[in-house]
Structure 1
Amino acid sequence: MIQQAGTSGPTTGQGYKLVVIVVGLAAVVVTMLCAFALPSINSGPRHLPTGVAGPQEATTAVSKALQGEEWDVTTYDSEDDLKTAVKERDVMGGIVLAPGKVTVFTATAGGPQAAMTLTSAATAIAKQQQANVAITDLKPFPDDDPKGAGFSSAALPIIIGGMFPAVLLTRLFPGHSGLRLRLAGGFAFALVAGFAVTAFLQYGTGSLSGEYLITSLGTSLGMAALVMTLLGLESLIGMAGFGLGAVVIMLLGNPLSGFVSGPHWLPDGWATVGQMLPPGAAGSLLRANSFFAGTGASGPALILTAWATLGLALMLIADRRGTRATRPSAEAPALVV
């Protein structure tokens, strides 16, 4: 074979590199599929906190009927106690038993799938007892968005809203000289975007019903946790650090967040991991502030604050390291000619 001068074929090293890239990309695709598909396949009620009230004999029978990993049943002395427990998020819902009547109390805003599962179970119990069923939703979604579509759609904007500005700020203000501008820009974006997203969902679509200021600050905290963590990783490690953070957020944080269903719809270990990551904590905080007057908000808020603080600490370390690298040595001996 005659080869033209000045040209050369691929080397063995390049061939190996190509194989590694192809195999690596295929592994990433399979990992993405596993991360998104497995939680959906294995989703379902897991230890749903459920209350029961009524005559002792009836509540005992219902507690036995709701045994298994799907339920975590607590007996209450009265209907009022059970309703208070639902509103305070001690349980996801409850069943009150009376002669010829079964009353179901749900909190759809706390998890629509859990509410439907509890209603279905109570209906089956009432059918066995030949009793009437009454359903009361103590914490529904707002009337303007009764299915919670707006709340569900907030997951991706919050996640992307934490990733995209980190990329943009890194490109616009690169290196050590732009680090403090990236820091200021990240905080400013999180604050403005949090208030804007909340305003759209609360006043534009009517999907939220909490106090606007508190809900907005919570949304801003969720975005700050995402953007500051990614900026911190990029500042200290480079784009490899940003890539690692983005993979964790998208491949673990997003599918394990329980943003739409609530954490009780995922296997126990996965749910715990998801709630410790920014997307899951941001969703739980938004749910608590929007529909439950802040009940249950302290845990997610602390987790998000920890992530934002971690990102800030990484940026401060990178700033100090960069300052030392660029500082001229004052003790360097002068050259004598």
Structure 2
Amino acid sequence: MSQASHLSYRAGGGGAVTRRAALLVIGVLAVQLAFIASYLGAFHRPQPHRADLAVVAPAQVRGELVRKLDGLPGRPLDAAPVPDEATAVHRIRHRESDAALVVDPRGTRDRLLVAGGAGGSLAQAVEQVVTRAERAERRSVTTTDIVPAGRGDARALSAFYLVVGWCVGGYLCAAVLAISAGARAATPRRATVRLGVLALYSVVSGLGGVIIVNPVLDALGGNFFALWGLGTLVVFAVGAATLALQGFLGVVGIGVAILLVVVLGNPSAGGAYPYPLLPGFWRTIGPALPPGAGVWTARSIAYFRGNAVTGPLLVLSAWAVAGTVLTLVSSMLRGHTHQGPELIPRAPDGPYA
């Protein structure tokens, strides 16, 4: 093709889509389809699987009752005997059991204790399963929510949306910091500055999210400063991981971050459907990803007096530390790669060079 023809081709729009752009578009399509598959796979048929049920019953019927509940078709319950109602309540409040069945030894009307603060859909699903099982034994059951969600927190979803917002802020902030001066952090100094800005953003983002959710909307209770600290950690963990991915993969790292946090992380976070209602794949990966760890911790702070948060906080801390370390490592590797050429002075242009 002659130079004139080439210029005409470019002017006519023939070069509007480069090979690199075409590859990125294909990548976007793959992420889009993965998004659809992940959300539909997780949500299209929620069914309880091994929901932890504490059983309080007289000794003479306890063993048989536990075996029947534990062996229901589809294994919706993981029934375990406990000595008394106080123990059952303790297990629910410490997030060791999802619900408890208290059998009336003198009548046919039993009680089911649930925790709506852990997710309204889970409490409802366990109630339906236990009600059917009781009806088969010619018994009835009344449900008592001993850890209800707040009045402004419909079906205990506020924690989920709060954490999703924090996660979005984390990877968007990291993406903006990276693409503002190139997709890769070329020097350790630049990477350190970006991490510092991200840390400051995380503090402000965490505070803003808590102010919106409470007191502005009165949607989620719990200790204000504990939620603020959680928000800071969630935003920084996601942002640092995004910076690390960008450092090694460039612009593609943004897509990988979205894949991990949005495509895989959000549907497996236990928000709309807590873990016992999710299919096996999402139920397994959820606790190991920032959205799942964040949602569990936010609900624990809001409704369970901060119980059972050690594991999720360690997960978030691991993402934050790994993201920080890998961001610095990638910058050092890039800096070493460019060190040689940068030390050679460029010859001046012009006739007197």
Q: TM-score, normalised by structure 2?
A: 0.81
Does residue 105 of the first structure (1) align with residue 113 of the second (2)? yes
Deviations 1:58-78 (A, max 9, x none): 434532044242110011111
Contact 1:208 1:290 in 2 (8 A): yes
**In structure 1, C-alpha distance between the alignment counterparts of 2:206 and 2:24, rounded to whole Å:** 38
Q: What's 2:240 paired with? A: 228
> 1:35-69: CA deviations, max 9, x gaps?
12111124321110011112234434532044242
Pair 1:28–1:88, CA change in 2 (3 A):
closer
Is residue 119–residue 156 contact of structure 2 (8 Å, CA) maintained in 1?
Answer: no
Q: Distance in 2 between matches of 1:17 and 1:233?
A: 19
Identity across the alignment (%): 21
Task: Give the corresponding residue for 2:349.
Answer: none
1:153 is displaced (CA, Å) by 2.5
* Corresponding residue for residue 177 of structure 2: 169
Native 8 Å contact 1:289 1:295 kept in 2: yes
Does the 8 A contact of 1:94 with 1:105 survive in 2? Answer: yes
CA shift at 1:130, angstroms?
Answer: 5.1
**Aligned amino acid, residue 242 of structure 1:** I
Name 1:281's counterpart in structure 2: 293
Give 1:138 deviation, angstroms.
Answer: 1.4
CA contact (8 A) 1:96 1:102 kept: yes
Higher relative contact order (CA 8 A, sep 6+): 2
Residue by residue, what CA displacement relative to the aligned partner does 1:120-169 show, whole Å, maximum 9, x if unpaired? 23333444555553322111112333533433422431221122111222
Aligned AA for 1:221? L
Residues 189-208 of structure 1 mapped to structure 2, 5 A cutoff: 189-208=201-220
Q: Which amino acid aligns with 2:166?
A: I
Q: Which residue of 2 aligns with 1:54?
A: 57
Aligned residues of 1:149 and 1:207 also touching (Cα < 8 A): no
Give the Cα–Cα distance (whole angstroms) in 1 for the partners of residues 153 and 35 of structure 2: 31
Question: Bigger CA drift: 45-54 or 271-280?
Answer: 271-280
Supply the distance in 2 between the matched residues of 1:29 and 1:243 (Cα, whole angstroms): 10
Q: Which residue of 2 aligns with 1:255?
A: 267
> Does residue 1:30 correspond to 2:42, yes or no?
no
Change over 3 Å in CA distance of 1:216–1:15 after alignment to 2: closer
| 1:267 aligned residue (275, 279, 286) | 279
The letter of the residue matching 2:249 is I
Deviations 1:6-48 (A, max 9, x none): 645999xx99999877766554433222112111124321110
* More deviation, 66-75/116-125: 116-125
Q: 2:85 aligned to 79, 83, 108, which one?
A: 79
Larger displacement relative to structure 2 (195-204 or 126-135): 126-135
Structure 1 equivalent of residue 351 of structure 2: none
What CA distance in whole angstroms lies between the structure 2 residues aligned with 1:110 and 1:195? Answer: 23
Does the CA-based 8 Å contact 1:51-1:95 persist in structure 2? yes
Q: Name the TM-score, length of structure 1 as normaliser.
A: 0.85
The answer (yes or no) to whether the contact 1:103–1:135 under 8 Å persists in 2 is yes
Counterparts of 1:1-337 in structure 2, within 5 Å, are 7-8=8-9, 26-63=29-66, 64-67=68-71, 68-98=74-104, 99-128=107-136, 131=139, 133-174=141-182, 175=185, 176=187, 178-325=190-337
Return 32-41 or 300-309, whichever deviates more.
32-41
Q: Which runs of 5+ in 2 are unaligned?
A: 345-353
Q: Say if 2:121 and 2:272, in contact at 8 Å, map to a contact too.
A: no
* Structure 1, gaps ≥5 residues long: 333-337
> Does the CA contact (< 8 Å) of 1:225 and 1:307 recur in 2?
yes
CA contact (8 A) 2:267 2:282 kept: no
Aligned residues: 326
Measured after TM superposition, the shift of residue 217 of structure 1 is 0.8
State the SS of the aligned residue for 1:154: helix
